[in-house]
Chains A and B, each alone.
Chain A
Amino acid sequence: MDYILPKNRSKLFNVIFLTTFSLLPAAAFAQSESTGDSGLFSLPGILITITLLIVPVVAAIFLLVVKANALFKNIQNRKDSEEATRFAAYLKTLNVEQLEALQNDRLHQDYHLNNQELSGPFSPEDSKGLLSSVNERANIRFIEAKRKAIVRPGIDPALSRLILWFLGTATFWLVFGTSVGEYVGIKFVAPDVDQVSWLSFGRLRPVHTNAVFWGWSSLAMLGLGYYVVPRVSNIQIHSLKSGWWSLILINASVVLGTIALMAGINNGGGEYREYIWPIQLLFGIGLVITLVNYLRTVARRKTTEIYVSNWYIVAAVMFAIVISIVAYVPNFQNGLGETIIQGYYMHQGVGMWFMLFTLGLVYYYLPQQLNKPIYSYSLGILAFWSQIFFYTLIGTHHFVFSAIPWSLQTVAIVGSAGMVIPVVSGTTNFIMTFRGAWHKVAGSYTLPFFIVGIIFYFTGSLQGTAEAFRSTNLMWHFTDFTVAHSHLTMYGIIAFFLWGGIYAIVPRLTRQEPPQITVGIHFWMAFIGMMFYTIPLMWGGTMRGLMWMEGLPFIESVTMMAPYWLWRAIGGSLMWVSHLVFAYNMYRMINPRKTVNINDEAIKKLHSKDYELVDILDK
């Protein structure tokens, strides 16, 4: 079993890092040199200071240019007025003939056609309205004009209100949760930014994770689910009232959980089950209500088959209830029992709740946005069963090399390898659905979100498989590589798919499009931000693991990480700003905007009592 990492291999790693990641040269050297003399530019304080210095310098340069321009204009004006005085003096010296000649010259120069030389004085017949409806106020096209959402009939306004509330509160939790995440990320660079107990790192970290899990992702999923489940069943939702109840309960759970965690009330430190049971119970009841509602809707469906989306969605809600019960029932949680259940819970939460539900949503929204059916129904079903079979096994891969039984660790690793089957079949299915419709991507503002989601569904999930093997676990476990991985998946897959779904249906529900330019800003900032967030953490995490394996002092691996943590904070800031933009887009889609249509308004005014013209019109 003994495995010896060849020395030259770890050297090779270092060489690769040194050459490819020369953006952070000092960081790469920090591990071989002892202390002190690592480059000045790797120090976060220096980098922040430089950035802060650059801001006023740029502002100063801008002001300087404005000032110089004004000065130049001033001089030019003075010159011109001198020139004018000289010209006036010259004109005074001219005799009458010369002046007349000049006047004639001006008349000749000013002559132009009156545009009616060919048509004559009559206005043209325009029976098809081709000439009178020319839009002369077209915007300058900085961005590609995207296809607008087609309004679909038959959406119950009451259901639409419920969905919008789900999505609206989800947006709130996204902004709140990632604000906390951003702040927590800053604490890696500036640990003394505050020293308040309620805001300390250990308390805020679970606030962040739980808010984006149960607040943002879960509420957004359920909201989008309330659209899909009745639609593919070709029937109204069973009960709107219970939908409102689950909305209220889940929101209450996240509000109370957040306050409790900040106050220091924590269930036991196990990730994602930090809420104590009375609080998580509210979430659980919300899920049970939703399950009954979805099931009753599916039971009364008007279609013979149950569309594959509803396989995934209803199963995800059932499984989430099972997972919560297993996680909170106290009968088998003593000693290592707690750890085994923890491994099971945290990974089933991710894979059987978020991933399964979101895949169900994609099976509906992706074909809808491409306006063609899903490539293969059977592949979707294969992915469904294999996901259940393999994903359930992989929980304990978070505790490889720990004291839990070796055989259980092996089962988890084998299960992780088996995940290739559902991931590859799912990805193939989605990509093949795009076949022949790639041209639609450029004209759509939702499809790019789905493409990013599909790419990370493939890479992020397989990265998880790669991390589970014993040889890689050795290097990556306990490092920030895991943090990068969880963001690639929960953000790159889940959040991007949810955004795609939200941009797909909200304009259909409200008949209001988001501004395309801000959707573009949201997409690119979120995407680029995530790259800045995850890539440095993956490099840094790998280097950290290698340093540990070489037996270097632990604190050296902390100083080595500093620039990578700074990059993470920068990427996190981009992501965070993109969420503000997304919230603005939600506002623009939901809030009715009053635009004055001159014609309609004029007619309305004519009909009001202030105008006596009404009688004239009526006659």
Chain B
Amino acid sequence: MMDFFNDYRKLYLTALGLFVLLTILVAIMPAISNQNNNSPLPSEEPLSAAALEGKALYVANGCVACHTQQVRNLDMDKVWGKRPSIAADYADEQRTDLWRNTATLMGTERTGPDLADVGNRQPSAEWNLLHLYQPRAVVAESIMPAYPWLFEEKAELEEGDVEVPVPDAFRKGVKGRIVATKDALNLVAYLQSLKQAELPGSMAPPEFLYKREEKATATTGSGEDLGLDGAALYAANCQSCHQASGEGLKGAFPPLKGSQIVLDDNPEVLIDVVMNGYDARPEFASMPAIGTNMKLSAAEVAAIINHERSSWGNSARKVPEEEVQKIMDLLKQSAQK
């Protein structure tokens, strides 16, 4: 036996053969089979030209170092998308060009949030631009790098310019108007395009595993409180624009503190805004249809609006879940007509 391995050709060829064989079995064959046997979902929209440019910037600036783009089939990943990611979600990814490889961008670190469905969760272009210019202007605790070089300073706005309403505290001596460059707009277009496509009706999404114990089991069953944490839901869905203080950001996002819509005894408008968005006030950015995008349930909407109606000095009556459900049904019907 040792004689066999004293022949260097036999020794190294055996080792190489074993390694290559295993490589073919666990890497190359599965890769080929996944490449050939998956195609994008019919509902998936291909990236626009702007979004493709934006994706190149996403790769060039190494965003994948901190942001994953995969919703795992784990209960804890539910916050990042409505269903676990499947092979078809990535089937569209092709080689970038002669020089650069395919960028599937699944990632292995989640220092920042997952972005697989960020186009649904945070579609507001105004928010995204301000966030790129200085993340701490909208999320005080953020440690994301700022990307001011994607913006330019101009004395006067020209036609087609998109101005970013940067709060004074973050202007750092910039006197003129802060305008998004083409690059910034492309990058935002890419982020907005990151949406989980709808599954065809016949196809059931994979299950989320390792389910968390329902908090409801701990409550005494008063029926009124299902244990949903309104503050946490607000933080996950609303806070990045309207801020933890409920005061919004001047010139960008309106305050909820003392807001007539929030405090109104009839919560119909408030629920409409949460579910379907709002763009009636020119001095503020338009609000996306967060509730519909995120498929918030009546219980979740109730928890969010009751948090808003009872925080920061706001005090309006608590809206029960049944009432929210009724209004949501009405809104759905009127939308269908």
A→B interface (CB under 8 Å): 1-7, 34-35, 187-188, 191-192, 195-197, 200-203, 205-206, 261, 264-271, 273-274, 276-278, 295, 298-299, 301, 304-306, 311, 314-315, 318-319, 322, 326, 328, 330-342, 344, 348, 352, 384-385, 388-389, 392-393, 395-396, 398-399, 401-405, 408, 411-412, 474, 478-480, 482-483, 548-556, 558-559, 565
Contact = CB atoms under 8 A, between A and B. Distances in A.
Rank and list the top 9 A-B pairs by shortest CB-CB distance, nearest first: A202-B62, A478-B110, A264-B60, A401-B72, A337-B31, A344-B27, A553-B235, A337-B35, A269-B64
A551 B232 CA distance: 9
B86 interface: yes
B155 interface: no
Given A269-B62, A556-B235, 14 more contacts: A191-B142, A191-B146, A195-B149, A267-B99, A268-B96, A277-B99, A295-B8, A335-B90, A335-B92, A336-B31, A337-B102, A344-B26, A401-B209, A555-B139
B93 interface: yes
B65 A201 contact: yes
Contacts of A396: 26
A4 B213 contact: yes
Interface string B69-100: 01011101101000011110111111110011
A330 B99 contact: no
Given A206-B65, A268-B96, A332-B35, A339 B90 contact: yes
A302 to B, nearest CB: 13
Interface string B5-33: 11010011001101110110011101110
26 contacts: A191-B135, A191-B146, A197-B147, A201-B66, A202-B62, A267-B101, A268-B59, A268-B101, A314-B12, A315-B19, A318-B19, A319-B19, A326-B28, A334-B91, A334-B94, A335-B91, A338-B31, A338-B103, A340-B27, A340-B31, A393-B26, A401-B77, A405-B30, A474-B210, A554-B236, A555-B239
A200 B61 contact: yes
A389 B94 CA distance: 32
Contact of B8 (A200, A270, A299, A339): A299
A11 to B, nearest CB: 12
Contacts of B212: 4-5, 549-551
Contacts of B64: 202, 269
Contacts of A270: 101, 103
Contacts of A6: 213
Among B27, B35, B59, the one with the most A-chain Cβ atoms within 10 Å of its Cβ is: B27
B61 A203 contact: yes
A558 B145 CA distance: 14
Nearest to A203: B62
Nearest to A559: B141
Interface in B226-275: 231-232, 235-236, 239, 244
A268 B96 CA distance: 8
Given A549-B212, A555-B141, A318 B15 contact: yes
Given A295-B12, A322-B16, A559-B141, A335 B6 contact: no
Interface of B: 2, 5-6, 8, 11-12, 15-16, 18-20, 22-23, 26-28, 30-32, 34-35, 38, 59-66, 68, 70, 72-74, 76-77, 79, 84-87, 89-96, 99-111, 113, 135-136, 139, 141-149, 209-213, 231-232, 235-236, 239, 244
Nearest to A291: B12
A389 B14 CA distance: 12
B108 A304 contact: no
Contacts of B16: 315, 318-319, 322
A4 B89 CA distance: 28
B87 A7 contact: no
B102 A2 contact: no
A332 B28 contact: yes
A411 B26 contact: yes
Contacts of B142: 191, 555, 558
B86 A267 contact: no
Contacts of B26: 344, 392-393, 395-396, 408, 411-412
A335 B93 contact: yes
A134 B86 CA distance: 80
A200 B145 contact: yes
A497 B203 CA distance: 53
A338 B104 contact: yes
Contacts of A266: 59-60, 62, 100
Nearest to B18: A388
A338 B103 CA distance: 8
B119 to A, nearest CB: 17
- Which of A331, A335, A337, A352 has most chain B Cβ within 10 Å? A335
B62 A548 contact: no
Contacts of A556: 235
A474 B84 contact: no
Residue picked from B5, B86, B92, B110, most chain A C-beta under 10 Å: B110
Nearest to A305: B6
B126 to A, nearest CB: 20
Contacts of A274: 62
Contacts of B103: 268-270, 338
A192 B137 CA distance: 12
B212 to A, nearest CB: 6
Nearest to B139: A555
Contacts of B18: 385, 388-389
B100 A405 contact: no
A2 B19 contact: no
Nearest to A398: B108
A34 B231 CA distance: 9
A296 to B, nearest CB: 10
Contact of A402 (B15, B63, B76, B85): B85
Given A403-B85, A478-B108, A559-B141, A335 B35 contact: yes
A554 B113 contact: yes
Given A7-B213, A336-B91, A558-B142, A205 B65 contact: yes
Contacts of A197: 61, 147, 149
A187 to B, nearest CB: 7
Contacts of B244: 35
A474 B12 CA distance: 39
Given A203-B62, A267-B100, A318 B12 contact: yes
B22 A389 contact: yes
A326 B2 CA distance: 32
Contact of B74 (A7, A201, A474): A474
A235 B35 CA distance: 49
A474 B109 CA distance: 13
Given A2-B211, A269-B59, A482-B108, A334 B102 contact: yes
A264 B61 contact: yes
Given A334-B95, A403-B84, A388 B15 contact: yes
B59 A401 contact: no
A392 B11 CA distance: 18
A405 B34 contact: yes
A202 B6 contact: no
Contacts of B109: 478, 482-483
A478 B108 CA distance: 6
Contact of B27 (A276, A395, A554, A565): A395
Contacts of B110: 478-479
A192 B146 contact: yes
Contacts of B108: 271, 398, 478, 482
B62 A206 contact: yes
A330 B95 CA distance: 8
Contact of A3 (B30, B65, B210, B236): B210
A551 B76 contact: yes
B38 A335 contact: yes
Given A4-B213, A191-B146, A558-B143, A205 B62 contact: yes
A305 B2 contact: yes
Contacts of B31: 332-333, 336-338, 340-341
Contacts of A295: 8, 12
Nearest to B11: A306
A1 B209 contact: yes
